[in-house]
C-alpha cells in the first residue's frame, strides 16, 4: 500500500514537473547564444495581477497606444495571446557574418496572436501549425505556434561583407567601384540566389493578407536598370515591371496568395528613393542583395529552430551550459546572462581597426539580476575573470577602508557618500601587466620597453606610502554664495561701454573628503611652497587654498595619517580641535568596512536643498522635490572577490505606503508622466 502511495505521489510530481516545464522555453535557446535575458512572468503576476496592471496608469497608457495604433479592441494585455505567467526571453546569436537578435515568448492562445496580426493588416503564412510573418524587406521575421513565438531581427557584420571574396561571391560591387554609374552587371547565378533569398518559404500553404495595395514606382525611367545591362538580373527586372496579382484561395475563410509573391517585397523599387537620380545605384542595389542574403539565412535559422534542430535537452541547448543554469535565480524578476564579455566584445568590436588589441582579455561570463521585493528594489551583478586577471584583482583589492574615517562621518548631516579601498602599490605593480595583456600581441617590443621604464621611474612602495589607496567622499548638500564679477554696460547714446561690478549667486557643493597617507614629507614641501607663493593660507591648525577666479573655498589639514579636504571651514576647525560629532549606524559601518567600494545617496535629504534658480520654473521645482521625496535611500556596494568572481549590488529602499517594488515603479512612472 505504501509502495503504491509513493508511486502515485512520484507520478503526480513528474506530471506536474512536465506541465511546468512545458513552457520552459530556455530549452529551445541554442547553446552558442552570446547573451540571454529572462523576464519571469510568474514573479511579476504574483506582485501585480493582470487585472491590476490593466487598470494601472501605465497599463491603460500602453493599451491605449496599442489600440490606437492597431485600430483594434483589446481589453487587456492578456488579449495578445501570450502566457503572462511564464518566462519571456531575449537571446543573441552571432557569427562572423551576422548577428541574430531573437525574442522568444510563451504563447497561450495562438488565435489571439493571429487576430493581432490580422487587425494590423499584416500578412502571415500557415504551415504545419507554424505561422510566419515577414516584414517588407524580410529583415524581420516572426514565427509562432501554439507554444511559442520567435521574432528574429538580423544585423549584418560590415567587416564580413567588406571582404573582397565575400563581395565577389554575393555579386556585390567592389568598394572602390561604387559610384554614380548604373548597377554593374554580375554573375546571374549569384544575383538570382540573393534576389530570391526569401523564396525559401515558397512551400508555405497560405497567407492571411488583405488585398495588396498598388504602389507608384519612384524610380525615374532613365534610372531603371535595362535588360541589356542586367543580363543575369532579368528575373529581378521582370518582377519589378510586373507584380503578379494575388491569387485567392479558400482556406479557413481567409484570403491567401502564393508565398513567392508575398515575400518578394525586396524588388528593386524598394531599394531606391525619389532622390536616387542623384544617388548611387550600386550602393542601393548592394543593400538589396545583402538584405536578401540575410533573409535567407534568417529563414533557415528560424525553420531549424521550430524543427528542433540545434536545440533540445542535449548539447544543443543553453541548458547544457553550467554557468547559465547556475545564474538562474527563480527569485529574480529579470536576469541578463553573458556567455563571455571578451567573446561578446570580439563579436561586435570592429576588429579590422583593432587587430591584435584585446581590450577585454581575461573577462569571462557575467550576469545581472533584478529583484522587485516588498521593501526594496535590488540589482546584483557578477563577473568572472581568468586566473591571471583574478590574481591581479585580488592583489589590488586586498586593502580595507581606514577605520579612522568613521570618526568624521555624521549620518544626520550627510546626503550621501562614496568610499573605495585599493592597494596603490599592488596596482602600480600590476598595471604594466594589464597593459601588456591588452596591447602586447601587437606592440610587444614597445610595451615591454614602456613597462620597464614605468617601473624604473616609479617607486611603487614610496608612492603607496604617500597615497595608500583608500578614501571617502562625503556629500553634505548644496549652498549658495554671492560672488562679484565684471560686466559692461552699453550706452546707446554715445556708443560707449562702462565697466561695472555685479553680483550673482553660485551654487556650490558642500563636501568632506578623506584620504589615507603614511608619508607626508612630499605633501609638507608642497604646502610650504604654496604658502610661500601665497596660494595657500596658513590658519594655524589648518590651511585654506586660494583658487583664482573661483567662488569655492577649500580647506585642508593632515591629522593621524589622514588628509582632510573640505569646503566648510567650521567643519575643518571641529576636526582639528577634536570636537567633531560622529554618528553612523551599523548598516553604513558594515557597508564601508566590509567592501572595497561602497556608496550611498538619500534623495529625500536632497529635496528642498536645490536652489530654485538652478531648476527654473516653480512647477519644475515642485516636480523635482516631489520625485526626490518619493524615492528611498540608494546603496551601492561591491563584495570581496570569491575565487575569480567579482560581484556588486545596487539597491533602493521603498518608501512607506507601497505594496511592493513593482507597484512603486509604476506609481513613479505615473508621477513622471503627469
Q: What is the DSSP string of 545-594?
A: E--TT----EEEEEETTEEEEES-HHHHHHHHTT----B--HHHHHHHHS
On the CB side of 29, CA atoms within 13 Å amount to 32
pLDDT for 19: 37
> Which range has highest mean pLDDT (180-194, 333-347, 380-394, 614-628)?
380-394
19-33, 234-248, 349-363: the lowest-pLDDT one: 234-248
Report the distance separating Cα 634 and Cα 151, nearest Å: 37
Pick the more confident residue, 607 or 448: 607
> Which range has highest mean pLDDT (59-68, 246-255, 394-403)?
394-403
Q: Does the structure show a pLDDT above 50 at 1?
A: no
Burial 328-346 (b: 16+ CB within 10 A, else e): beeebbbbbbbbbbbbbbb
Q: Residues 358-379: what's their mean pLDDT? A: 87
Report the distance separating Cα 116 and Cα 109, nearest Å: 11
Q: Does the structure show a pLDDT above 60 at 436?
A: yes
Report the distance separating Cα 586 and Cα 590, nearest Å: 6
Cβ atoms within 10 Å of 231's Cβ, excluding its own? 12
Is-contact 101 152, C-beta < 8 A?
A: yes
Q: Does the structure show a pLDDT above 70 at 602?
A: yes
The full DSSP string for 378-426 is: EEEEEEEE-HHHHHHHHHHT-----GGGGGG-BTTT-SEEEEEE--HHH
Grid cell of 636 as nine digits: 551601492
Q: Does the structure show a pLDDT above 70 at 221?
A: no
Q: Does the structure show a pLDDT above 50 at 509?
A: yes
483 sits in which H/E element: strand 470-491
Report the distance separating Cα 662 and Cα 374, nearest Å: 9
Give the mean pLDDT of the chain.
77
Residue 14's SS3 state is: helix
pLDDT confidence tier of residue 248, bands split at 50, 70 and 90: very low
Q: Which residues contact 601 (CB under 8 A, 6 or more apart)?
A: 415, 416, 475, 633, 634
pLDDT for 571: 93
pLDDT for 122: 85
Q: What are phi and psi of 100, to 5 degrees?
A: -105, 120
Q: Residues 248-269: what's their mean pLDDT? A: 35
Burial 459-474 (b: 16+ CB within 10 A, else e): ebeebbbbbbbbbbbb
Domain extents for the chain? 157-307
Report the distance separating Cα 129 and Cα 205, nearest Å: 10
Is-contact 34 93, C-beta < 8 A?
A: yes
Q: Residues 80-100: what's their mean pLDDT? A: 92
Q: Does the structure show a pLDDT above 70 at 276?
A: no
pLDDT for 442: 57
The full DSSP string for 225-278 is: PPHHHHGGGHHHHHHHH-PPPPPP--BTTB----HHHHH---SGGGG--TTGGG
What are the angstrom distances between the C-alpha of 291 and each of 151, 203, 435, 444? Answer: 17, 21, 40, 41
Cα–Cα nearest to 239, from 204, 275, 265: 265
Q: Does the structure show a pLDDT above 60 at 189?
A: no
The share of the chain scoring above pLDDT 90, in percent, equals 37
Q: Residues 279-307: what's their mean pLDDT? A: 84
pLDDT for 211: 39
Q: Does the structure show a pLDDT above 60 at 185?
A: no
Report the distance separating Cα 605 and Cα 611, nearest Å: 14
pLDDT for 209: 40
Report the distance separating Cα 69 and Cα 382, nearest Å: 40
Q: Does the structure show a pLDDT above 90 at 405?
A: yes
Cα–Cα nearest to 524, from 543, 508, 509: 543
pTM for this entry: 0.76
The full DSSP string for 86-115 is: SEEEEEEEE-SSEEEEEEEEEBS-HHHHHH
Cβ atoms within 10 Å of 213's Cβ, excluding its own? 6
pLDDT for 444: 63
Q: Which residues contact 440 (CB under 8 A, 6 or more apart)?
A: 447, 448
Is-contact 546 535, C-beta < 8 A?
A: yes
Residue 221's SS3 state is: helix
Is-contact 5 60, C-beta < 8 A?
A: no
pLDDT for 254: 36
73-87, 142-156, 213-227: the lowest-pLDDT one: 213-227
> Which range has highest mean pLDDT (139-148, 274-283, 428-437, 490-499)?
139-148
Q: Does the structure show a pLDDT above 50 at 16?
A: no
pLDDT tens digits along 406-435: 999 999 999 999 999 999 998 888 877 777
pLDDT confidence tier of residue 182, bands split at 50, 70 and 90: very low
pLDDT tens digits along 475-495: 999 888 877 777 888 777 777
Grid cell of 64 as nine digits: 491605449
Q: Residues 242-246: what's their mean pLDDT? A: 41
pLDDT for 384: 93
Q: Residues 298-315: what's their mean pLDDT? A: 72
Cα–Cα nearest to 477, from 506, 505, 513, 507: 507
53-57, 192-196, 269-273, 543-547: the lowest-pLDDT one: 269-273
Report the distance separating Cα 324 and Cα 559, nearest Å: 50
Residue 480's SS3 state is: strand
Pick the more confident residue, 54 or 40: 40
Q: Residues 321-343: what's their mean pLDDT? A: 91
Cβ atoms within 10 Å of 521's Cβ, excluding its own? 10
* Paired residues of 504 in beta bridges: 483
Report the distance separating Cα 526 and Cα 424, nearest Å: 21
pLDDT for 15: 33
> Which range has highest mean pLDDT (151-160, 208-217, 263-272, 478-487)?
151-160
Cα–Cα nearest to 654, from 631, 625, 629, 671: 631
Amino acid at each position: 500500500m505504501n509502495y503504491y502511495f509513493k508511486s502515485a505521489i512520484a507520478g503526480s510530481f513528474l506530471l506536474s514537473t512536465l506541465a511546468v516545464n512545458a513552457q520552459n522555453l530556455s530549452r529551445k535557446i541554442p547553446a552558442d547564444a552570446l547573451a540571454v535575458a529572462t523576464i519571469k512572468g510568474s514573479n511579476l503576476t504574483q506582485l501585480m495581477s493582470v487585472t491590476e496592471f490593466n487598470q494601472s496608469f501605465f497599463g491603460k497608457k500602453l493599451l491605449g497606444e496599442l489600440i490606437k495604433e492597431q485600430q483594434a479592441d483589446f481589453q487587456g494585455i492578456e488579449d495578445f495571446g501570450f502566457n503572462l505567467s511564464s518566462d519571456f526571453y531575449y537571446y543573441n546569436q552571432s557569427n562572423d557574418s551576422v548577428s541574430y537578435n531573437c525574442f522568444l515568448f510563451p504563447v497561450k492562445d495562438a488565435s489571439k496572436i493571429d487576430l493581432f496580426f490580422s487587425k494590423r493588416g499584416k500578412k502571415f503564412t500557415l504551415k504545419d501549425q507554424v505561422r510566419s510573418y515577414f516584414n517588407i524587406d524580410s529583415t524581420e521575421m516572426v514565427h509562432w505556434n501554439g507554444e511559442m513565438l520567435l521574432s528574429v531581427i538580423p544585423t549584418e557584420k560590415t567587416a564580413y561583407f567588406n571582404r573582397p571574396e565575400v563581395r565577389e561571391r554575393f555579386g556585390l560591387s567592389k568598394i572602390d567601384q561604387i559610384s554614380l554609374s548604373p548597377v554593374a552587371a554580375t554573375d546571374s547565378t549569384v544575383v538570382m540566389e540573393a534576389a530570391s533569398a526569401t523564396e525559401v518559404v515558397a512551400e508555405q500553404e497560405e497567407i492571411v493578407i488583405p488585398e495588396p495595395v498598388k504602389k507608384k514606382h519612384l524610380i525615374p525611367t532613365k534610372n531603371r536598370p535595362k535588360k541589356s545591362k542586367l543580363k543575369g538580373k532579368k528575373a529581378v527586372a521582370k518582377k519589378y515591371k510586373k507584380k503578379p496579382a494575388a491569387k485567392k484561395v479558400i482556406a479557413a475563410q481567409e484570403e491567401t496568395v502564393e508565398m513567392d509573391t508575398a515575400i518578394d517585397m525586396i524588388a528593386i523599387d524598394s531599394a531606391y528613393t525619389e532622390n536616387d537620380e542623384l544617388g548611387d545605384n550600386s550602393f542601393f542595389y548592394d543593400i538589396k542583395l545583402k538584405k536578401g542574403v540575410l533573409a535567407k539565412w534568417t529563414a533557415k535559422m528560424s525553420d531549424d529552430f521550430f524543427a528542433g534542430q540545434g536545440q533540445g535537452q542535449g548539447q544543443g541547448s543553453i541548458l547544457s551550459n553550467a554557468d547559465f543554469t547556475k545564474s538562474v535565480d527563480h527569485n529574480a524578476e529579470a536576469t541578463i546572462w553573458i556567455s563571455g564579455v571578451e567573446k561578446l566584445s570580439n563579436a561586435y568590436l570592429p576588429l579590422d581597426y583593432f587587430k591584435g588589441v584585446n581590450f577585454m582579455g581575461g573577462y569571462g561570463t557575467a550576469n545581472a539580476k533584478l529583484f522587485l521585493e516588498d521593501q526594496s528594489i535590488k540589482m546584483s551583478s557578477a563577473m568572472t575573470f581568468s586566473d591571471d586577471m583574478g590574481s591581479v584583482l585580488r592583489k589590488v583589492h586586498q586593502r580595507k577602508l581606514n577605520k579612522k574615517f568613521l570618526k568624521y562621518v555624521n549620518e544626520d548631516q550627510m546626503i550621501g557618500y562614496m568610499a573605495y579601498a585599493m592597494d596603490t602599490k599592488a596596482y602600480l605593480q600590476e598595471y604594466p601587466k594589464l597593459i601588456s595583456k591588452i596591447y602586447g600581441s601587437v606592440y610587444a617590443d614597445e610595451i615591454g620597453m614602456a613597462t620597464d621604464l614605468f617601473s624604473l621611474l616609479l617607486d611603487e612602495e614610496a608612492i603607496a606610502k604617500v597615497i595608500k589607496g583608500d578614501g571617502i567622499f562625503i556629500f553634505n548638500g548644496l549652498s549658495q554664495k554671492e560672488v562679484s564679477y565684471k560686466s559692461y554696460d552699453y550706452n546707446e547714446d554715445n556708443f560707449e561701454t562702462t565697466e561695472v561690478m555685479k553680483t550673482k549667486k553660485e551654487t556650490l557643493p558642500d563636501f568632506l573628503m578623506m584620504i589615507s597617507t603614511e608619508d607626508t614629507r612630499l605633501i609638507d614641501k608642497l604646502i610650504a611652497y604654496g604658502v610661500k607663493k601665497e596660494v595657500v593660507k596658513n590658519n594655524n591648525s589648518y590651511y585654506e587654498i586660494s583658487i583664482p577666479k573661483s567662488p569655492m573655498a577649500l580647506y585642508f589639514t593632515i591629522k593621524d595619517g589622514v588628509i582632510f579636504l573640505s569646503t566648510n571651514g567650521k567643519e575643518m576647525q571641529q576636526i582639528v580641535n577634536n570636537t567633531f560629532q560622529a554618528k553612523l549606524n551599523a548598516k553604513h559601518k558594515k557597508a564601508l568596512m566590509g567592501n572595497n567600494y561602497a556608496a550611498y545617496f538619500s534623495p529625500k535629504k536632497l529635496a528642498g536643498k536645490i536652489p530654485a534658480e538652478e531648476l527654473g520654473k516653480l512647477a519644475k521645482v515642485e516636480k523635482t522635490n516631489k520625485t526626490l521625496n518619493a524615492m528611498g535611500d540608494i546603496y551601492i556596494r561591491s563584495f570581496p572577490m570569491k575565487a575569480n568572481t567579482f560581484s556588486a549590488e545596487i539597491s533602493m529602499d521603498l518608501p512607506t505606503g507601497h505594496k511592493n517594488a513593482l507597484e512603486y515603479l509604476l506609481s513613479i512612472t505615473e508621477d513622471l508622466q503627469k
